[in-house]
Amino acid sequence: MSESRTERTDVTDVPHLTDRTGAAESLAERAAALDAADELAERRKLFTLDDDSVYLDGNSLGALPRHVPERIQDVISRQWGELRIRSWTEGGWWTAPERIGDRIAPLVGAGPGQIVVGDSTSVNVFKAVVAAVRLLDPAEPARDEILVDATTFPTDGYIARSAARMTGRPIVPLDPENLLGALGPRTAVVLVNHVDFRTGRLHDLPGITAAAHEAGALVVWDLCHSAGALPVGLDAHGVDLAVGCTYKYLNGGPGSPAFLYVAERHQARFDSPLPGWNAHTDPFAMAQDFAPADGAVRGRVGTPDILSMLALEASLDVWEGVRVEAVRAKSLALTDFFLECVEAYAPPGRVRSVTPAAHAERGSQVALRCAEAPAVMETLIARGVIGDLRRPDLLRFGFTPLYVGFADAERAARVLAEVLTEVPAGPPA
């Protein structure tokens, strides 16, 4: 679905979360009842949040879990300060990338031994795309095109173009709704975002993956806006390679290391374009010739960023006992309810949802088109409703079910309506 198609989705098309029980029942009362019945509501207490604001920017930076500062103080004071170099073994520093990868794995539907944590999303996209090209059957030289989501987060496009130059492959940018029709005998690799970072549109991971495989191609998925927000099913859907960040819905902290998924069936032939010493089968042999380690470990490169790595590991504790299916159900309920509140409160014609109404096509954010978006978001933030902006005219609101409630959604919509009445409407486009 292109943006032009999502623009036709108006908030009036979104079904109400529940039937109204009477005209006198207020949205605020419904929010309170929904929060009281929410199985995830107690999770909010695990985060550092205040009651004076509504934080709807977890799709950019997740909130801080309360216990992380104390855990990191131990890493700094005891592990680094006292154990020092011994912490690589006694503190488990050396094995952290695989250990933390195995903790993320259930959240994205992967079995153990297939995810390694480290480096940035950009670096991991580069590894994955180049490695995917190298996994292709050399007996099919005509299979050369790299298909890239033209609406993707810019970094993915930059990296894909660089990978295309390095591997001598033509790159074909196209809208995701045209992707299936573009697959053919020349398709080598497909790079797609699972959730569109602007509109919140959820792309069809199972369908696209199956179609690419049917065409003989491999797929790399960017999970930055889906990991920790909805079921992904990497193993169940036969995904080849995937990357994702950990500082959004996984709440790993600013700049926390990203992750790389390499399906078990591809690991023996996974050939990283960045064969660092950490990926060597015997790193401390200091051999001049590179011999890759077994498994997803060969996706490592250099010395891991231990402070960020262990902050992420601590942050993942908030997921203990949480079902991703429950997170998804609450996410859809929250975004439905928010859109209903916007419909009820906002002045007619001032905002329009570009996030798909259909649950099967929606991530965990709502994007509203608003001609005065910069001024509106600035005022919203000043009033304690923290969302973000994508120029020129998109208001983005991320709903992180572990700590966002229905009262937050109602308050955000109500304050948005107040701001819209105060910020003058611009001339019609």
**Strands 385-386 and 241-244: what pairing?**
unpaired
Among 43, 103, 248, 369, which one carries the catalytic annotation?
248
Largest CA distance in the chain: 76
**pLDDT-based confidence at 353, cuts 50/70/90?**
very high
Does residue 429 form part of some domain?
no
368 pLDDT higher than 80:
yes
Q: Same domain, yes or no, for 268 and 375? A: no
172 pLDDT higher than 90:
yes
Degrees to nearest 5, angle at CA 117 with 396 and 230: 40
To the query of whether residue 222 is one of the catalytic residues in this protein, the response is yes
To the query of whether residue 261 is one of the catalytic residues in this protein, the response is no
Among 38, 156, 222, 305, which one carries the catalytic annotation?
222
Domain endpoint, select from 244, 271, 303: 303
Q: Same domain, yes or no, for 160 and 227? A: yes
Does residue 401 form part of some domain?
yes
Bond into 392 cis (ω within 30): yes
Write down the pTM of the prediction: 0.93
Q: Same domain, yes or no, for 145 and 244? A: yes
Model pLDDT, residue 43: 98
Q: What ranges in 7-111 are assigned the alpha helix state H?
A: 27-36, 68-74, 96-104
Give the N- to C-terminal CA distance of the chain in Å, as an integer.
23
Q: Same domain, yes or no, for 98 and 60? A: no
Among 43, 169, 396, 414, which one carries the catalytic annotation?
396
Among 247, 338, 397, 406, which one carries the catalytic annotation?
247
To the query of whether residue 396 is one of the catalytic residues in this protein, the response is yes
Instruction: Specify whether the CB–CB gap between 375 and 389 falls below 8 A.
Output: no
Q: Same domain, yes or no, for 14 and 55? A: yes
Q: What is the rounded average pLDDT of the residues 66-93?
A: 98
Percent of the chain with pLDDT over 90: 90
Q: Same domain, yes or no, for 394 and 332? A: yes
Does residue 73 form part of some domain?
no
Does residue 289 form part of some domain?
yes
Q: What is the rounded average pLDDT of the residues 386-402?
A: 97
Q: Same domain, yes or no, for 24 and 134? A: no
Q: Same domain, yes or no, for 282 and 153? A: yes
Q: What is the pLDDT of residues 9-32, one digit of tens each?
A: 343 333 333 333 332 259 999 999
Q: Same domain, yes or no, for 245 and 136? A: yes
- The CATH number linked to 360 is 3.90.1150.10
Model pLDDT, residue 182: 96
Q: What is the pLDDT of residues 38-64, one digit of tens each?
A: 999 999 999 999 989 999 999 999 999
Model pLDDT, residue 8: 33
Q: Give me the domain span that covers residue 406.
A: 3-66+323-420
Q: Same domain, yes or no, for 51 and 114? A: no
Q: What is the pLDDT of residues 185-240, one digit of tens each?
A: 999 999 999 999 999 999 999 999 999 999 999 999 999 999 999 999 999 999 99
Model pLDDT, residue 137: 83
Domain endpoint, select from 303, 337, 372: 303
Q: What is the pLDDT of residues 92-132, one digit of tens each?
A: 999 999 999 999 999 999 999 999 999 999 999 999 999 99
Domains identified in the chain, total number = 2
Alpha carbon distance 115, 242 (integer Å): 9
To the query of whether residue 323 is one of the catalytic residues in this protein, the response is no
72 pLDDT higher than 90:
yes
Does residue 126 form part of some domain?
yes
Adjacency order of strands within the sheet including 365-369? 352-353, 365-369, 394-398, 388-390
Domain endpoint, select from 254, 273, 303: 303
Q: What is the pLDDT of residues 278-327, one digit of tens each?
A: 999 999 999 999 999 999 999 999 999 999 999 999 999 999 999 999 99
Task: Specify the 3-state DSSP secondary structure of 173.
Answer: strand
To the query of whether residue 153 is one of the catalytic residues in this protein, the response is yes
Among 153, 249, 259, 337, which one carries the catalytic annotation?
153
Instruction: Specify whether the CB–CB gap between 41 and 35 falls below 8 A.
Output: yes
Does residue 110 form part of some domain?
yes
Does residue 74 form part of some domain?
no
- The CATH number linked to 132 is 3.40.640.10
Lowest mean pLDDT among 2-6, 155-159, 162-166, 188-192: 2-6
Q: Same domain, yes or no, for 130 and 168? A: yes
The burial class, CB within 10 Å (0-12 / 13-18 / 19+), for 35 is: middle
Q: Same domain, yes or no, for 151 and 243? A: yes
Model pLDDT, residue 19: 39
Does residue 315 form part of some domain?
no
**pLDDT-based confidence at 414, cuts 50/70/90?**
very high
**pLDDT-based confidence at 422, cuts 50/70/90?**
very high
